[in-house]
Protein backbone atom coordinates (compact mmCIF):
# COMPACT_ATOMS: atom_id res chain seq x y z
CA UNK A 1 0.00 0.00 0.00
CA UNK A 2 1.33 3.42 -0.95
CA UNK A 3 0.92 6.44 1.21
CA UNK A 4 -1.12 9.41 0.03
CA UNK A 5 1.88 11.56 -0.89
CA UNK A 6 3.27 8.92 -3.27
CA UNK A 7 -0.17 8.36 -4.82
CA UNK A 8 -0.59 12.08 -5.51
CA UNK A 9 2.91 12.24 -7.03
CA UNK A 10 2.08 9.27 -9.24
CA UNK A 11 -1.19 10.83 -10.41
CA UNK A 12 0.41 14.20 -11.17
CA UNK A 13 3.38 12.58 -12.90
CA UNK A 14 1.14 10.33 -15.01
CA UNK A 15 -1.05 13.25 -16.06
CA UNK A 16 1.93 15.43 -17.00
CA UNK A 17 3.54 12.50 -18.80
CA UNK A 18 0.39 12.06 -20.87
CA UNK A 19 0.48 15.75 -21.80
CA UNK A 20 4.16 15.66 -22.77
CA UNK A 21 3.78 12.41 -24.71
CA UNK A 22 0.83 13.81 -26.68
CA UNK A 23 2.68 17.03 -27.47
CA UNK A 24 5.81 15.28 -28.73
CA UNK A 25 3.73 12.72 -30.62
CA UNK A 26 2.10 15.57 -32.56
CA UNK A 27 5.51 16.99 -33.41
CA UNK A 28 6.81 13.55 -34.34
CA UNK A 29 3.92 12.86 -36.71
CA UNK A 30 4.34 16.19 -38.48
CA UNK A 31 7.85 15.17 -39.52
CA UNK A 32 7.51 11.41 -39.81
CA UNK A 33 5.10 11.34 -42.76
CA UNK A 34 7.75 12.88 -45.00
CA UNK A 35 9.82 9.70 -44.65
CA UNK A 36 9.71 6.30 -46.36
CA UNK A 37 7.54 3.54 -44.90
CA UNK A 38 10.39 1.64 -43.23
CA UNK A 39 11.72 4.87 -41.72
CA UNK A 40 8.24 5.75 -40.45
CA UNK A 41 7.96 2.39 -38.71
CA UNK A 42 11.46 2.56 -37.25
CA UNK A 43 11.14 6.14 -36.03
CA UNK A 44 7.70 5.49 -34.52
CA UNK A 45 8.95 2.38 -32.76
CA UNK A 46 12.01 4.16 -31.35
CA UNK A 47 9.93 7.16 -30.30
CA UNK A 48 7.43 5.06 -28.35
CA UNK A 49 10.17 2.87 -26.88
CA UNK A 50 12.05 5.93 -25.61
CA UNK A 51 8.95 7.39 -24.00
CA UNK A 52 8.06 4.09 -22.33
CA UNK A 53 11.58 3.85 -20.91
CA UNK A 54 11.36 7.43 -19.66
CA UNK A 55 8.05 6.72 -17.97
CA UNK A 56 9.43 3.74 -16.11
CA UNK A 57 12.69 5.44 -15.18
CA UNK A 58 10.83 8.27 -13.44
CA UNK A 59 8.19 5.88 -12.10
CA UNK A 60 10.99 3.95 -10.40
CA UNK A 61 12.09 7.13 -8.67
CA UNK A 62 8.57 7.84 -7.41
CA UNK A 63 7.37 4.44 -6.22
CA UNK A 64 9.91 1.78 -7.24
CA UNK A 65 8.25 1.22 -10.61
CA UNK A 66 4.95 -0.12 -9.32
CA UNK A 67 2.10 0.34 -11.80
CA UNK A 68 -1.44 0.97 -10.65
CA UNK A 69 -4.59 1.10 -12.78
CA UNK A 70 -5.08 4.77 -12.08
CA UNK A 71 -1.63 5.57 -13.46
CA UNK A 72 -2.84 4.34 -16.87
CA UNK A 73 -6.03 6.30 -16.42
CA UNK A 74 -4.19 9.55 -15.74
CA UNK A 75 -1.74 9.01 -18.59
CA UNK A 76 -4.77 8.62 -20.87
CA UNK A 77 -6.47 11.68 -19.36
CA UNK A 78 -3.31 13.73 -19.80
CA UNK A 79 -2.98 12.55 -23.39
CA UNK A 80 -6.61 13.38 -24.17
CA UNK A 81 -6.47 16.78 -22.48
CA UNK A 82 -3.46 17.76 -24.57
CA UNK A 83 -5.17 16.51 -27.74
CA UNK A 84 -8.20 18.67 -26.94
CA UNK A 85 -5.94 21.67 -26.28
CA UNK A 86 -4.01 21.12 -29.53
CA UNK A 87 -7.23 20.83 -31.54
CA UNK A 88 -8.62 23.96 -29.88
CA UNK A 89 -5.46 25.94 -30.65
CA UNK A 90 -5.40 24.68 -34.26
CA UNK A 91 -8.99 25.82 -34.76
CA UNK A 92 -8.22 29.25 -33.30
CA UNK A 93 -5.14 29.57 -35.45
CA UNK A 94 -7.10 28.81 -38.63
CA UNK A 95 -9.64 31.57 -37.94
Rg value, the chain, Cα: 16
Percent of the chain scoring above 90 in pLDDT: 51
pTM, to two decimals: 0.83
Query: Exposed, middle or buried by CB within 10 Å (0-12, 13-18, 19+), for 31?
Result: exposed
Domain count of the chain? 1
Among residues 95, 72, 84, which one has the least CA distance to residue 26? 84
pLDDT digits (tens, 9 = 90+) for 25-59: 888 888 887 778 888 888 889 999 999 999 999 99
pLDDT of residue 88 exceeding 80: yes
Query: Exposed, middle or buried by CB within 10 Å (0-12, 13-18, 19+), for 93?
Result: exposed
Residue 11 within any structural domain of the chain: no
Query: Exposed, middle or buried by CB within 10 Å (0-12, 13-18, 19+), for 47?
Result: middle
Residue 69 within any structural domain of the chain: yes
Residue 12 within any structural domain of the chain: no
Residue 36 within any structural domain of the chain: yes
Structural domain for 45, as ranges: 22-94
Q: What is the pLDDT of residue 55?
A: 93
Amino acid sequence: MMNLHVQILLIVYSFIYGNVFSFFLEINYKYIYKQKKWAQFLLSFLFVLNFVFLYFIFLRKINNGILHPYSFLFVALGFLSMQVLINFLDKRRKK
